Amino acid sequence: MNSRYCYISFLLVLLVLSINATESLHTYYRNGISLNGNWNVIVDPYENGYYNYRYEPFDQLNDPWSVGYYGDKKSEAPGDLIEYNFDASATLYVPGDWNTQDPKYYYYEGTIWYRKKFDAPQIENEQRVFLYFGAVNYKADVYLNAQKLGFHIGGFTPFYFEITNLLKKTENSLVVKVDNKRAKEAVPTLNTDWWNYGGITRDVKLIVVPKSFIRDYSIRFESINTKKITGKIYPDGNSGEKKITICIPELGIREKVNSANVSEFSFHAKEIVLWSPEHPKLYRIEITYGEDTLIDSIGFRTVSVKGKQILLNQKPVFLRGISIHEEYAVEGGGRVNEFWKTEQLLNWAKELGCNFIRLAHYPHNEDMIRQAEKMGFMLWSEIPVYWTIDWCNEETFQNAKNQLTENILRDRNRANIIIWSLANETPVNESRTKFLIRLAKHARSLDNTRLLSAAMEKHYKNDSLAVIEDPLAVIADVVAFNEYIGWYDGLPDKCEKVNWEIPYNKPVFISEFGAAAKYGYHGDSGLRWTEEFQENLYKKTMKMIDTIEGLCGISPWILIDFRSPRRPLPGIQDDFNRKGLLSEKGEKKKAYFVLQEYYKRKQSFSIK
């Protein structure tokens, strides 16, 4: 067998073995040592730094003469043949995508090697050091001091390695091979409607912890009637302590549980205030094990369905939503990589009147989740099982399952996430449905405290009767679908003629609708690309959707214009999907105010 395929199979075996974890590395409030900043980079479209001329991976050859870039070698003698030099190479900023940092990388898809030098942190009392990546798009091979730590597949979820015994006191060389090439068997697959930003797109940091520490925990509020809180704690190492202490000071709770590989706890909180969009109450929680104290900020709530209603804290709620990509194109930016950009996106959504955000089409930065929680936004979180992936490929399924696992484990304690979404606009066929049912089963095994859904598609029984018929709707808690009547499906006047048949006694959610408009382009409401066309479609859509029985919310497409290689129309699109209610510069289009007014009318539906 070709050595490259042997290597790929080896990686996939490791990937399959890695997805059975029930814990992640909780880092958000730990004092990390940032490795952000300028990293030296080498562009490597032929992957010369990874494969020899026989297309064999250097890092598996055990060759002392290897010239793989991961070695970060320097010439030591006049005759040495080293054809790369990180020290003399260009730099890119981390976190960030390479596409918007330098025009020559704008369309680049392939490999770029990143190198960062750093000194080891001061450690004592047998402390341990972990290297944590928030996300790398898409495949990352990670090396420290020429030794391979491992790899990660998937562009939007975190991963980490323990490096305690691999550190030198000074001049540690961290090298990451980043490859964002699209692939048929990947998740997402070859074809998407957003930009394939490459790079180390989220924070990189060192986490120093005691020899024994709290790796992660899970917590849930079970019932308004019992006010019971339950959870699990995942300690790492034996501290000698027989007890783990859980403290929520504001509730007067201080409980001790036996330390074990997994420590379970439960207690009652009679005076608890529940999290809601109107009152996004969060509590400080402290978990202590030996010398380690893990601190977090936690909200408590219940979410369920009853017939065609979504209940938050046992009260019906209407999801006044908007879809958002993790992109901030204002001032030329790409992937969101600074906290103020997250805040700006959320502030625009708040001004619009939203209480709900669909995070499309992949797990977003943890800053987004947590800031949205503080601001009172309920969230839909999804993985990039998008359009048509390789449904019959078991390796593709394991990839999707791993991304779902990492997404849920990172965010399962966030009160504001009420829906895990499995997919977007996937074709109804047997192999796809089996694939998604397996994902649904896995999601519920990890977290059964939230609702499950997916963005499905409509069909027609006749010219005026739209129907949602999808076996996935049977297992979903919320029947969600995308509809583009008036844009891809006829013209806006068609909204006045369509009736709906949705044969499920479940809440109905419209996960996408919209039309494109270039900000500042005006004309008749029948002229495509004008603000007036988009405005007219929104007005007619609002009248149409209010006739749908069981409608529990909407998340129109989309808050702000975003980059897409599928959108080349000169003078109008210019590489941007123009369905945003704001331009890529943050300018409000006329449809923004239509939706804002609609949400004002829907506020009376909000939880009191």
For residue 524, the tally of other CB atoms under 10 A from its CB is: 9
How high does pLDDT run on average in the chain?
Answer: 93
Distance in angstroms (rounded) separating the CA atoms of residues 388 and 183? 12
Token digits of residue 295? 């601190």
Question: Does residue 7 lie in a domain region?
Answer: no
Confidence label for 605 from pLDDT (cuts 50, 70 and 90): low
Q: Are both 421 and 367 inside the same structural domain?
A: yes
Predicted local distance difference test score (pLDDT) of residue 62: 75
- The reported pTM is 0.94
Higher confidence at residue 260 or residue 114?
114
For residue 103, the tally of other CB atoms under 10 A from its CB is: 8
Distance in angstroms (rounded) separating the CA atoms of residues 128 and 235? 14
Q: Which of 304, 326, 11, 320 minimizes the C-alpha distance to 150?
A: 11
For residue 258, the tally of other CB atoms under 10 A from its CB is: 10
Distance in angstroms (rounded) separating the CA atoms of residues 560 and 557? 9
> Domain end: 286, 301, 316, which one?
301
Is there a contact between 380 and 152 (Cβ–Cβ < 8 Å)?
Answer: no
pLDDT at 197 over 90: yes
Predicted local distance difference test score (pLDDT) of residue 608: 32
- Give the whole-number percent of the chain exceeding pLDDT 90: 88
Distance in angstroms (rounded) separating the CA atoms of residues 97 and 196? 9
Look up residue 58 and give its DSSP letter.
G
Distance in angstroms (rounded) separating the CA atoms of residues 345 and 584? 12
Q: Are both 241 and 109 inside the same structural domain?
A: no
Per-residue pLDDT reduced to its tens digit, 370-398 = 999 999 999 999 999 999 999 999 999 99
Distance in angstroms (rounded) separating the CA atoms of residues 177 and 44? 9
Predicted local distance difference test score (pLDDT) of residue 23: 72
Predicted local distance difference test score (pLDDT) of residue 379: 98
Distance in angstroms (rounded) separating the CA atoms of residues 418 and 380? 6
Cβ density class 75-97: b for 16+ within 10 Å, e for less: eeeeeeeeebebeeebebebbbb
CA angle 495/561/109 to nearest 5° reads 120
Q: Are both 199 and 219 inside the same structural domain?
A: no
What's the CATH number where 43 sits?
2.60.120.260
Q: Are both 502 and 376 inside the same structural domain?
A: yes
Token digits of residue 242? 């027989």
Q: Are both 191 and 93 inside the same structural domain?
A: yes
What's the CATH number where 477 sits?
3.20.20.80
Confidence label for 1 from pLDDT (cuts 50, 70 and 90): very low
Q: Are both 280 and 358 inside the same structural domain?
A: no
Look up residue 199 and give its DSSP letter.
B
pLDDT at 523 over 60: yes
Q: Are both 297 and 309 inside the same structural domain?
A: no
Per-residue pLDDT reduced to its tens digit, 234-248 = 999 987 888 999 999
143 is in which domain, residue-wise?
Answer: 19-209
Predicted local distance difference test score (pLDDT) of residue 65: 62
Confidence label for 497 from pLDDT (cuts 50, 70 and 90): very high
Predicted local distance difference test score (pLDDT) of residue 22: 56
Confidence label for 202 from pLDDT (cuts 50, 70 and 90): very high
Question: Does residue 5 lie in a domain region?
Answer: no
Alpha helices in 279-329 (DSSP H): none
Q: Which of 469, 399, 388 minimizes the C-alpha distance to 438?
A: 399
Q: Are both 157 and 248 inside the same structural domain?
A: no
Distance in angstroms (rounded) separating the CA atoms of residues 288 and 239? 11
Predicted local distance difference test score (pLDDT) of residue 77: 86
Question: Does residue 143 lie in a domain region?
Answer: yes
pLDDT at 576 over 80: yes
Look up residue 198 and give its DSSP letter.
-
pLDDT at 128 over 50: yes
Is there a contact between 13 and 394 (Cβ–Cβ < 8 Å)?
Answer: no
Q: Are both 513 and 439 inside the same structural domain?
A: yes
| Average pLDDT score over residue span 291-313 | 97
How many angstroms separate the most distant Cα atoms in the chain? 80
Q: Are both 196 and 250 inside the same structural domain?
A: no
Q: Which of 511, 507, 314 minimizes the C-alpha distance to 422?
A: 511
Looking at 16-30, 65-79, 239-253, 542-556, which range is the least confident one? 16-30
Question: Does residue 3 lie in a domain region?
Answer: no
Q: Are both 287 and 379 inside the same structural domain?
A: no
pLDDT at 64 over 90: no
Domain count, the chain: 3
What's the CATH number where 246 sits?
2.60.40.10
SS (H, E, C) 374-393: HHCCEEEEECCCECCCCCCC
Q: Which of 184, 206, 238, 253 minimizes the C-alpha distance to 25?
A: 206
Q: Which of 381, 380, 373 minimizes the C-alpha distance to 277?
A: 373
Question: Does residue 370 lie in a domain region?
Answer: yes
Distance in angstroms (rounded) separating the CA atoms of residues 223 and 583? 43
Predicted local distance difference test score (pLDDT) of residue 260: 86
Look up residue 349 and give its DSSP letter.
H
Confidence label for 125 from pLDDT (cuts 50, 70 and 90): confident
Predicted local distance difference test score (pLDDT) of residue 238: 85
Question: Does residue 175 lie in a domain region?
Answer: yes
Q: Determine if the peptide bond prior to 488 is cis (ω within 30°).
A: no
> Domain end: 166, 192, 209, which one?
209
Q: Are both 60 and 82 inside the same structural domain?
A: yes
Question: Does residue 8 lie in a domain region?
Answer: no
Confidence label for 542 from pLDDT (cuts 50, 70 and 90): very high
Confidence label for 506 from pLDDT (cuts 50, 70 and 90): very high
Q: Three-state SS for 247?
A: strand
pLDDT at 13 over 70: no
Is there a contact between 556 and 602 (Cβ–Cβ < 8 Å)?
Answer: no
Distance in angstroms (rounded) separating the CA atoms of residues 361 and 420? 12
> Domain end: 209, 229, 255, which one?
209
